[in-house]
A and B are shown apart, each in its own frame.
Chain A
Amino acid sequence: MNETKKRLDVIGMPRRRVDARSKVTGQLRFADDLALPRMLHAKLLRSPHPHAIVEAVDAEKARQHPSVKLVLTGQDFPVPFGIMPVSVDEYPLARERVRYVGDPVAAVIAVDEQAAVEALALIEVRYQVLRPVSGPQDGLEHPEPRIHDYGEQGNIHRNQAYEFGDVDEALRNADFVAEDLFFYEGNTHLPMEQQASLAFLDQDGKLQISSSTQNPHYLHRQLARVLQVPESRIRVIATPNGGGFGGKCDPGGHEFVVCKAALVLGRPVKIGLTREEVFYVHRGRHPVLLKMKTGVTKEGKLTGMHLQTLLDGGGYGSHGPASTFYTGVLTPVTYHYPRFKFEACRVFTNKPACGPKRGHGTPQPRFGQEVQLDKIAERLGMDPLELRLKNLTKAGDLTASWLRVGSTGLEDCLRKVGEMSSWKAQHGKLEKGRGVGLACSTYMSGAGVAIYWNKMPHSGVQVLLDRSGTVVVYCGATEIGQGSDDVLAAIVAETLGVDTGSVRVVSGDTGITPVDLGSYSSRVTIMAGNAAVQAAERLRASLAAAVCETLGTLPDRVVFSQGKVFAADNAGAGMSFVEAVTMAEAQLGTLSAVGSYSPPKPPGRYKGAGVGPSPAYSFSACVVEAEVDERTGWIHVPKIWIAHDIGRALNPVLARGQVIGGVYMGLSEAMMEEQSFRRLPEKLSGALVHRAPSMLDYKSLTALDMPEVEVALIEDPDPNCPYGAKEVGQGPLLPVMPALANAIFDAVGVRVDEIPVTPDKVLRALEAKAAGKAARVGPESYPSVPYPEPIFVLPPWEGGDGNESRKGGEKRAAAAMV
């Protein structure tokens, strides 16, 4: 059967998601809802010092507490962990060093939580306090004491530079060079669900953990490593996450602790983190300082960009090596830069580790890029929308950095959002105090390379049919609220011509589901989805072969639709899906098929080319309307329009929900969220503490604070994606922050070159403007960062082959001659 000719029955229809009922009724069991007989409770003792050597841990008194069953310390965990093979630098409980206030040092396992808390107070830890590093500049200026004994040098964790074509020359040959400094404050994920885990030994004595994790497969591998237990004796069940956003990607110290305790005690052990602890686990948005130089011609064509970034990494590596890349690599995907240079440096500091948060590393440079484009348009006297249209990448393009832009609907997004928001009639034309701002973005539909090097598929799916007509889909993908179970059900239902009510999805269980790498990098829809299509198509072929004779047709003329199986030219006759399954099972035996997916090989071949490639990129364009009170700087956002190139919306209700959720998170970051820290006066105190580790005091928007969001889904199916569906979980967040900053400029003519954009900053910029100074608030200087000599790669159009030019200088000279 020719797929393009079949009408879609499930895909594209607005449906109630498959897990809606259990979520609405409260039947769904999150990790913290789980309880087992004889279950014990764990609590962690955390460091009160930002940086100290752990000299001694005396837990004798705690061990003697009548309700305490076990006390664990760093000595119980000799093997470190780390989500990335290049940054294995963390212990479940600190062994010799604590690196932020909140770093776990010891664990108490007791009969109840209250007793565990009491016993924590009985543990005595002797610390030798070290000078804390409070920020990346501080870390550059103070290479000693080192926070870690690995990394590039001093307190620099990662330091890298890439140059794709001679950028100095591109800037020299431009009509002008826009040069800007931007700062993007760190922020955290703030999922509703606080992490919880329950570990126990099953009937066979094997270790099982149910945990709120986004990546059960990676957790499984790390548990085996740290606990020295064979992988085959571990089962990780990712319970449905009450939101993840990247915060549950890293394995957490608490997960190792409950597993170790269950192994030692032979009893179920549970832990539930407090909200404050979730702020300490963090792994959220890196604070990033950016310097951005862009060459532009009089006609508004971009000639090249030189981007420098400086990341505040926090106390551990986490996903940091990837985050460092992401502060640059996706920058040239939306617009064509003939040449591109990117330098990035991540510094260890004595704060909770930063890592991946929705948009992973890319919102920061995207903010700078999109605000700078707004400034360039103003300087050229050009409509910002026209400037963007002029520079768009095209479908199938390679970037200077050798990323393959697959399908792109960014032009359609721009035109659509322009139309929805009446851009031309509004931009620059509203009364003073009101303005509109525009920004674009892109994001990967799955990272092209796994976190650990291997040649196996990124996702596997098994589909099982039985004579009841039930379709069971097994996949390691994790439902974190984004709707991955619904996506898998819809894809399999569509392919087999049944409705999602006949499909049961079993996901995120490393004991029974095929490996999927996890719910990160917007990879599940495309990767698990493609694997599901393959498995379901194989089953459909088996069924078609079994029933075609009865239907009097050829196998490829059998149609599966709406629970019926019939010949393409005789839709009136045929049989039910259940009859077809029965017939096939009688002929072929038990019916099952597997599918798997590996992304295509990326075109870039230089070292580091693995970060950034994706089988497909989503695109978004967003307009934010802002009202600014010039006396107070108060910002009000009455309306947001956004168009998102999704390829195809598998379930438009879910897709719109993801878009609006992304816009919500973006606006909240743009306006108020700050994971910021207090360094108390040095003469009086060594304290370096999180300012507001609570949901009341860490400010974020609520539903009541949200403006109306008008969403357009741009649908042009992408050939690399299942039924053409690209990602929607992360992309729509990204343009909101720069669009707000640009709207503020349109409203009152001042630039806030830093996130969050708050009323006090707007008012300061307005006052500066009134005093005849630069109408801007933002970073004033960029520190001296010892970036390395760049890896030089020629862009595709300058004769490059995707490899590093062995001698950058020579190639540069050669390129100059061409």
Chain B
Amino acid sequence: MLRLPWFEYRAPSTLAEAVKILAGEGPQAMLVAGGTDLLPNMKRRHQSPKVLVSLKGIAELRKLNGGYGAGLTLAEVVAHAATPSALRQAAAQVATAQIRNMGTLGGNLCLDTRCTYYNQTEEWRKAIDYCLKKDGSVCWVATASKRCVAVSSTDTAPALITLDAKVKLVGPAGEREIPVEALYQNDGIDYLSRKPDEVLSAVVIPSGWRSTYWKLRRRGSFDFPLLGVAAALKMDGDVVTDARIALGAVASRPFRVDKAGHFLKGKRLTDEVIAEAATLVANRAKPMDNTDMDLYWRKEVADDFAGYALKELRGDDMRAVRIRTARYLPG
């Protein structure tokens, strides 16, 4: 089997202790929560931290009052009755049941960016002389690119962006709160604005949004997203009073499509309005050939998925489409 590299394992029981260890060890330390992303990546030598700081034993990270503790498992987030639709749907469609039982909300938000030239073993990457993201000098997706274009594959982030959620980051200097969108940078290598000595501790989600999340992938049973569309609306009768739409898996970060949100404000969700909004959303989808399936096709169907999301929020019965495309029905 693939073997992990050697590492030192630390298991603090408080957030303060974790922050202290991080500050002391510097960049050679990494945080691990569920380990469902990091440990396979370590086996492939994407990361070889000297010290792993486990967040498992920190009770504060598993709280559910005021905000969602970053250490809650995705299964717990799904099971929690008050979880908003978009987040529940996104969390429910991450990987498999087994992984959702281990993987955490914070872990999914901090998920390493992915690329078909990167998510391979050390031996495989050696055979292509590595790539820009790790140990190499060329981006094989776009050989002229100076920037790594690895794709953000978190499902929960676009959902939380539409919900106008914020994340809490705890560091040596104390706690700060930033919008989820601000956690990300459009760089496949340096994709998080989290400082190395900070711990993402909680997510704070305002209420009042009607929201949904649609995920495109080849297999409904489990896969990373090829496209994630999250949408949240506030309505007055059948008129949209506020709208937030976000995309995942089409850039190195999840992002909000402001144009579409502005466009929807004050409108009724007619077929024409939905079609136009969907086009505005799709125009921002610029997928690269760094994940599964045909790149042009992924671009072409972005408006369809944006349309599905808005139609579902309008109240259309979208269950048949859900089953066909995702083998998933929101509970």
Contacts and interface: CB of A to CB of B under 8 A. Distances in A.
Contact of A705 (B220, B296, B304): B220
Instruction: Say whether chain A's binding surface is mostly helix, strand, loop, or mixed.
Output: loop
Contacts of B301: 631-634, 759, 763
A48 B297 contact: no
A634 B128 contact: no
What class of interface size applies to chain A in its complex with B?
35 or more
Contact of B128 (A685, A692, A703): A685
B135 to A, nearest CB: 13
B123 A48 contact: yes
Contacts of A685: 128-129
A296 to B, nearest CB: 35
Nearest to B95: A696
B219 A705 contact: yes
B218 interface: yes
B124 A672 contact: no
A280 to B, nearest CB: 10
Contacts of B143: 681, 684
A375 interface: no
A758 B294 contact: yes
A697 B300 CA distance: 22
A516 interface: no
A279 B238 CA distance: 54
B222 interface: yes
B297 A760 contact: yes
A49 interface: yes
A272 interface: yes
A633 B216 CA distance: 13
A763 B323 CA distance: 20
Interface string B296-313: 110011001000000000
Nearest to A32: B1
Contacts of A690: 124
B95 to A, nearest CB: 9
A629 B138 contact: no
A704 B324 contact: no
Given A117-B3, A276-B123, A760 B296 contact: yes
A691 B324 contact: no
B327 A684 contact: no
A681 B297 CA distance: 23
A694 B119 CA distance: 10
Contacts of B1: 113, 272, 274
Interface in A313-353: none
Which residue, B127, B140, B143, B222, has most C-beta atoms of chain A within 10 A?
B127
A279 to B, nearest CB: 10
Contacts of A696: 223
B329 interface: no
B193 interface: no
Given A274-B2, A685-B128, A687-B128, A636 B324 contact: yes
B121 interface: yes
Interface string A272-284: 1010100000000
A760 B293 contact: yes
A763 B297 contact: yes
Contact of A634 (B296, B324, B327): B324
B297 A759 contact: yes
Interface in A463-496: none
A455 B137 CA distance: 60
Contacts of A629: 304, 324
A101 interface: yes
Contacts of B145: none
A681 B131 CA distance: 13
B92 to A, nearest CB: 13
A681 B143 CA distance: 9
Contacts of A101: 124, 127
Contact of A704 (B119, B128, B327): B327
A759 B227 CA distance: 15
Contact of A687 (B127, B297, B325): B127
Interface in B74-104: none
B-side interface mostly: loop
A690 B129 CA distance: 14
Given A634-B325, A760-B297, A702 B221 contact: yes
Contacts of A684: 138, 143
Interface string B194-226: 000000000000000000000000111111000
Nearest to B328: A704
B128 A672 contact: no
Contact of B218 (A632, A672, A693): A672
Contacts of A689: 124, 127-128
A632 B325 CA distance: 10
A697 B143 CA distance: 22
A627 interface: yes
Nearest to B293: A760
A631 B304 CA distance: 8
A276 B121 contact: yes
B116 interface: yes
A680 B116 contact: no
A636 B301 CA distance: 16
A701 B219 contact: yes
Interface centre among B143, B296, B324 (most CB of A within 10 A): B324
Given A114-B3, A274-B2, A760-B294, A693 B220 contact: no
A46 interface: yes
Contacts of A46: 123
B126 interface: yes
A763 B200 CA distance: 42
Contacts of B120: 693-694
Contacts of B271: none
Contacts of A538: none
A699 interface: yes
A632 B124 contact: no
Contact of B219 (A276, A633, A680, A702): A702
Contact of A699 (B2, B121, B218, B323): B218
Nearest to A635: B324
A680 B325 contact: no
Contacts of B123: 46, 48, 276
B17 interface: no
A127 to B, nearest CB: 12
A703 B97 CA distance: 14
Interface string B241-282: 000000000000000000000000000000000000000000
Given A274-B2, A697-B292, A699-B292, 18 more contacts: A46-B123, A101-B127, A113-B3, A274-B1, A276-B121, A631-B301, A632-B304, A633-B297, A634-B301, A636-B324, A636-B325, A685-B129, A689-B128, A701-B219, A702-B221, A704-B327, A759-B301, A763-B301
6 contacts: A636-B325, A680-B128, A687-B129, A689-B124, A758-B294, A760-B297
Interface of A: 46, 48-49, 101, 113-114, 117, 272, 274, 276, 627, 629, 631-634, 636, 672, 678, 680-681, 684-685, 687, 689-694, 696-697, 699, 701-705, 758-760, 763
Minimum-distance CB pairs A-B, first 9:
A760-B297, A704-B221, A760-B294, A636-B324, A702-B221, A48-B127, A632-B301, A687-B128, A101-B127
